Amino acid sequence: MADAVATSATTSSTTYTTVLTPASPGPAVTLTVPASGRVLVEITAGMSDSNNGQSCFTSFAMSGANTQATAADANAAALGGNAFQRASASSVLTGLNPGSATFTAQYKWSSGSATCTFSNRALWAIPLP
């Protein structure tokens, strides 16, 4: 399963959020976690920040058969600097409960009062045997 959002949007939140300006939530995918309890998740985004030296993060939350309401840095694609760059991060999740689960992208900025811009955002998830 895969989803993508091309719209460019920003956040100044220093905690993970789905709230971006302009409003352009996602991407998000729903799949059935297999009996193995294993899923490969990939998160990708073009990122830049308005205050050189700070970092932008994109990660994912889970809902449904498996719940992680707030994204984790351990699964994040992160990038520092104000030059636009595209980054990806892959995570093999294990020990998940079999059943329907939704993975939703979330975003944050490292600190201060500036903003991060995210564009060409994508998320995909593959059940693993």
Residues 84-96 pLDDT 10s = 899 999 999 999 9
Q: pTM score, two decimals? A: 0.94
| Alpha carbon distance 104, 50 (integer Å) | 25
pLDDT band at 82; cut points 50, 70, 90: confident
Instruction: Write the pLDDT tens digit of every residue in 14-66.
Output: 999 999 999 998 999 999 999 999 999 999 999 998 887 789 999 999 999 99
SS3 breakdown of the chain: % helix, strand, coil, rounded to 5?
0, 60, 40
